[in-house]
Amino acid sequence: MSATKLTAALAAAALLALAQGAAAQQPAAPKPEPAPSAAEQKAAASQTTAAPATAAAPPASVAPGAAELKDARAMVLQDQRQPLNNAPVWSEVRSGVPQYTSIPGREAGILIQSSGETWREARVPIAFWGGILVALAVLGLAGFYLLKGTMTVESRSTGRLIQRFTPADRYAHWLMAIAWVILGITGLILSLGKSVLLPVIGYTLFSWLATAAKNLHNFVGPILIVAIPWMFIRFVRHNGIGVEDVKWFLNIGNYFKGHEYPSGKFNAGEKIVFWLLLVVLSTVLLVTGLVLNFPNFGQTRQTMQLMNIIHMASAYVAIALACVHIYLGTLGMAGAYKAMRYGYVDETWAEHHHKRWYDDVKAGKAREKFVSRDQVPAEVWTEIEGAARPAAA
């Protein structure tokens, strides 16, 4: 072979080698490949075990176990074989199993807390249907008031008053009522404000209102730690449930017609307010609220999400029930609000609304007593007598 031919052959071989090398450098189009078989995973696991550790090992307390190492190696192998398929990584992340992190703190090793999505999905329908429930309660009561007006006592006032509530009863009730009404209103702003108020009042005002509502809600909530037990102690003795309460309910139609089934100091409807609104719902709201208010006791996000759902659901039921109670305690029934404000009721009011209790007072069997004129300030006396029979006042 001549020198020229030899040179040409060498050049061609060199070019071919270069072309092959370049082709090997090109990223290959990703080809769908089957997931690594169990045998391959095992081989990869033993290969990685044999390899010397180059990265700094985590502290012994958080050092991964054999199973975790195996999973990690399977992931590495998967990444090499199917570089664009990172589903296994994400299912690991979404599993909620804590991973290693050097950052100290509760749940710091959990990158994504998947139950948060379930929480978000549950919140919207609860707020929606809860809002509908409260709106129906308010509209229903407004309609009822337009139809029936305020319920009054028809017989004439005798001019004799009974002390129905002591100052301690009244302070306990008003502490509860004021705190509760603030919590109810601010809670509704926090829960529904973004959908209902924001479009009407705009970002600036809503931002101010929401911040004020949040702070009020957080600071007023703990007052219930005192208010609920205080109310409970003051009122529980008159809230025992018996057959008479069932009969009162069976006659509820007559209640609204002005012919009440005789009740003790509190009727069955009021006992529902006591047991359901005060004892059950307010306590649930207080406990769940405290878990949310003080996140510094090691509770996880999942616990707080659950508490939030229970808090919201009970709040809407409680607010609807409180609307009925507040209506009957103010607009709905003459004399009720003044009883709780001043502590006294007219004898005719007591006989009409709480006949069994009135009979006990008359017989001297009840703790509550008739009061003489000089025990009550003149203006209070006038107020109570007027409230008992406003039509004739």
| CA nearest neighbour of 217 among 182, 181, 192 | 182
Count the site residues for ligand HEM by CB under 6 A. 25
Q: What is the DSSP string of 364-380?
A: T-SS--EE-GGGS-HHH
CB-based contact 234:169 (threshold 8 Å): yes
Q: Where does this chain touch ligand HEM (CB under 6 A) — which range of 48-56, 98-106, 293-301, 331-339? A: 331-339
Q: Where does this chain touch ligand HEM (CB under 6 A) — which range of 98-106, 115-123, 200-208, 274-282? A: 274-282
Residue from 217, 271, 311, 352 in contact with ligand HEM (CB under 6 A): 271
DSSP one-letter code for 32: P
Q: With the C-alpha atoms ordered 128, 130, 134, 140, is the resulting torsion angle positive or negative?
A: positive
How many residues does this entry show for the chain? 393
Work out whether 172 is an interface residue with ligand HEM (CB under 6 A).
no
- For the CB of residue 282, give the shortest distance to ligand HEM in the complex, in Å: 5
Work out whether 334 is an interface residue with ligand HEM (CB under 6 A).
no
Q: Where does this chain touch ligand HEM (CB under 6 A) — which range of 25-33, 52-60, 127-135, 329-337? A: 329-337
Listed in sequence order, the residues at least 6 apart from 228 whose beta carbon sits closer than 8 Å to its beta carbon are: 176, 278, 279, 282, 283, 286
Helix or strand run (H / E) with residue 161: strand 161-163
Work out whether 337 is an interface residue with ligand HEM (CB under 6 A).
yes
Work out whether 384 is an interface residue with ligand HEM (CB under 6 A).
no
Residue from 141, 284, 336, 387 in contact with ligand HEM (CB under 6 A): 336
Residue from 73, 325, 352, 389 in contact with ligand HEM (CB under 6 A): 325
Residues 333, 272: Cα–Cα separation, whole Å: 17
Residues 171, 185: Cα–Cα separation, whole Å: 21
Q: Which residues of the chain form contacts with ligand HEM (CB under 6 A)?
A: 164, 173, 176-177, 180-181, 235, 239, 266, 270-271, 273-274, 277-278, 282, 322, 325-326, 329-330, 336-337, 339-340
